Amino acid sequence: MNSALTSSNSKHVVPDDSDQPKALFFNYHEFSVTDYAEIGKECSEHEEELALCITHFPNTYAPLDSIRFKQTRIVRIPRRYEDNLDWPVFCTLLPGHEPAALVNQDGSLQFVPYGFYENQIYGLSSVSPLSSYLSPEEFKDIVETVNMYLRQGYDPNTWRNIISATFDVLTFNLWNCLMIRLVSSPLLKLENYVETLNKSKLFKNKNIRLISPRRSGFLSVC
C-alpha cells in the first residue's frame, strides 16, 4: 500500500497504480525440478527451460503403508485471495488453465508425460493428470458448488449468519448448540455433497475422489 502524502507544494509524485502490471494467478502448490529422468533415459540435470512441473502429490490422507497411498495421488486446487478474505474461495480453473500457468509447447491443454521424479511421472506444463478425468466445465461446476456452500456457511452478511450470531450472543452460545441439532448447516450440506459426488457414476467410473476442504483446513481442495 502506498502511504505517501502529497500536497500542492510536494515534489514527490505518487505512482499511478493503473500503470502497474497486474499479477497473474497460478497454482501456487506446483513447483519445478531440473534433476530428473526423461522417459527412457537416466536421471540427469536439465536446463530451466526443460524443468519438470510437479503438479500432483502424495496422498497424505491415506496411511503410508496402505495400497491406497501407493496407488493414488493428490492434485491440490488452491484458494484465491484477491477478491475475498472473509471465507474460503477456491480456483474454478482446471490446473493448467490459470492465467500464469506453464503451457505445453504446442499450446495443448492435455497432460503430456515427459519425465520421472521420485518414481512419479510429470510433464513440462502446469497441466496435471486431472485433465484426463474431468473437463474444464465439469471441474468448474464442482468447485463452484463447493464455493457456494462455503459462502453460505461463512459469509457474515447472510441473513442466516446474522440471525445466528445475534441469537448466539443473546443465549450465551446455547443457540449455536441447538441449531446444530435442528438446522442443517451449509457446511454439513457441503460434506453431504462431497459424499454424494464420490458415489456418483462420474467419479466411480473414473476412479477419482474429492476430499473435503475441511480436511485440509480449507487451504485447498483435492
The CA distance from 176 to 165, in Å, is 8
User: Does residue 14 fall inside a structural domain?
Assistant: no
Of 107, 196, 108, 101, residue with least CA distance to 149: 196
pTM of the model: 0.80
The CA distance from 95 to 78, in Å, is 9
User: Does residue 70 fall inside a structural domain?
Assistant: yes
* pLDDT, position 68: 92
* pLDDT, position 177: 62
The CA distance from 196 to 97, in Å, is 27
Q: Which residues contact 92 (CB under 8 A, 6 or more apart)?
A: 139, 140, 143, 144, 147
User: Which domain range does residue 196 map to?
Assistant: 31-221
User: Does residue 8 fall inside a structural domain?
Assistant: no
The CA distance from 93 to 77, in Å, is 9
Q: What is the three-class DSSP state of 50?
A: helix
CB 45 within 8 A of CB 34: yes
Rg value, the chain, Cα = 22
User: Does residue 106 fall inside a structural domain?
Assistant: yes
User: Does residue 51 fall inside a structural domain?
Assistant: yes
Extract the C-alpha cell encoding 119: 518414481
Q: Count CB atoms within 10 A of the CB of residue 114.
A: 18
- Per-residue pLDDT of the chain (222 residues), as tens digits, is 333 333 344 344 555 556 677 778 889 999 999 999 999 999 999 999 999 999 999 999 999 999 999 999 999 999 999 878 889 999 999 999 999 999 888 888 899 999 999 999 999 999 999 999 999 999 999 999 999 999 998 887 776 666 666 766 666 566 666 665 556 788 899 999 999 999 999 999 999 999 999 988 887 877
User: Does residue 17 fall inside a structural domain?
Assistant: no
Q: Are strands 57-58 and 52-54 parallel, antiparallel or unpaired?
A: unpaired
Degrees to nearest 5, angle at CA 221 with 147 and 143: 35
* pLDDT, position 21: 73
Number of domains observed in the structure of the chain: 1
User: Does residue 96 fall inside a structural domain?
Assistant: yes
Reported as a single tens digit per residue, the pLDDT across 101-157 is 998 888 888 999 999 999 999 999 999 999 999 999 999 999 999 999 999 988 877
User: Does residue 140 fall inside a structural domain?
Assistant: yes
